């Protein structure tokens, strides 16, 4: 516990902020290193997926959103894109975490290197990609829906549970990934399943009432809905849900960071 207190995340980030920024930059560069279009793929990929999903769910399945104003394909696409952006932060952190330590064995063997910054750097890279997509989303909203609501000011608040949750799970899975090499494959399956169980392509009201409770067990459901409320529909967040999300995310972060510190001493023996 003394180690946990002395190496708390905030103190660690302040002390190693330059190193964290360097690792975030490295993560962003490495992802598209050697490709002709480079960083443009971070824009092209979500736009291509958005086009496909919009056609499938708005044209073929005739999907509609509860708070839609125009029911146009453009509004459907913007609403869908918002959910995709939020989930991409969670997905990128969780799916890459199991190999985060094993892919950096040199840092494990350096006693003075703060391994705790690796999950933070992974989260930072995901947030940068999110911000790029958010700029595209806001431009689309201005063009097709006539402007941005003041509720956008709530965005940092409703994103905080996502950040805490993603970082906490990144600590847990990056540690477990050292000892359980099959974790990477099982996590990918779980993340894909949660993708479909999160109201990204459909509103919660499209799910039968008796099954909605299952949907809300997924922590990403409330997070996606709150972000969508403040960014797309100009509605204040559900503060009751936000409070629950914050508490759960803080607990997961606390447990994840504690577990990481407790197990990190055994990394070198395995690697």
Residue-wise pLDDT for 140-198, tens only, equals: 888 888 888 999 999 999 999 999 999 999 999 999 999 998 899 999 999 999 998 99
SS (H, E, C) the chain: CHHHHHCCHHHHHHHCHHHHHHHHHHHHHHHCCCCCCHHHHHHHHHHHHHHHHHHHHHHHCCCCCCCCCCCCHHHHHHHHHHHHHHHHHHHHHHHHHHHCCCCCHHHHCCCCCCCCHHHHHHHHHHHHHHHHHHHHHHHHHHHHHCCCCHHHHHHHHHHHHHHHHHHHHHHHHHHHHHHCCCHHHHHHHHHHHHHHCCCCCCCHHHCCHHHHHHHHHCHHHHHHHHHHHHHHHCCCCCHHHHHHHHHHHHHHHHHHHHHHHHHHHHHHHHC
**What is the tens place of the pLDDT at every residue in 36-55?**
555 666 667 767 776 777 67
Please give the pLDDT value at position 61: 60
Please give the pLDDT value at position 12: 78
| pLDDT top residue among 5 and 210 | 210
Please give the pLDDT value at position 213: 84
**What is the tens place of the pLDDT at every residue in 125-151?**
999 989 988 988 898 888 888 888 999
pLDDT higher than 60, residue 6: no
**What is the tens place of the pLDDT at every residue in 100-114?**
999 888 888 776 788
Category of 237 on φ-ψ map: left (φ > 0), alpha (ψ -120 to 50) or beta: beta
């Amino acid at each position: 516990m003394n180690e946990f207190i002395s190496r708390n995340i905030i103190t660690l980030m302040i002390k190693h902020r330059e190193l964290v920024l360097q690792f975030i930059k490295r993560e962003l560069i490495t992802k598209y290193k050697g490709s002709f279009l480079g960083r443009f793929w971070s824009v092209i990929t979500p736009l291509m997926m958005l086009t496909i999903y919009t056609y499938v769910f708005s044209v073929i399945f005739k999907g509609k959103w509860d708070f839609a104003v125009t029911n146009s394909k453009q509004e459907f696409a913007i609403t869908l894109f918002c959910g995709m952006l939020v989930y991409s932060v969670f997905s990128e952190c969780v799916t890459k975490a199991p190999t985060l330590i094993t892919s950096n064995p040199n840092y494990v063997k350096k006693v003075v290197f703060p391994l705790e910054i690796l999950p933070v750097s992974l989260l930072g890279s995901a947030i940068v990609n999110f911000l790029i997509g958010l700029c595209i989303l806001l431009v689309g909203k201005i063009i097709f829906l006539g402007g941005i609501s003041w509720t956008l000011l709530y965005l940092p608040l409703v994103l905080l549970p996502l950040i805490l949750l993603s970082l906490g799970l990144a600590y847990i899975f990056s540690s477990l990934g050292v000892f359980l090499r099959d974790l990477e494959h099982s996590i990918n399956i779980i993340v894909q399943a949660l993708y479909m169980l999160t109201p990204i392509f459909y509103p919660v009201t499209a799910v039968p009432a008796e099954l909605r409770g299952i949907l809300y067990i997924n922590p990403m459901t409330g997070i996606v809905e709150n972000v969508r409320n403040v960014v797309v529909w100009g509605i204040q967040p559900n503060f009751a849900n936000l409070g629950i999300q914050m508490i759960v995310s803080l607990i997961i972060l606390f447990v994840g960071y504690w577990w990481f510190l407790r197990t990190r001493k055994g990394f070198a023996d395995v690697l």
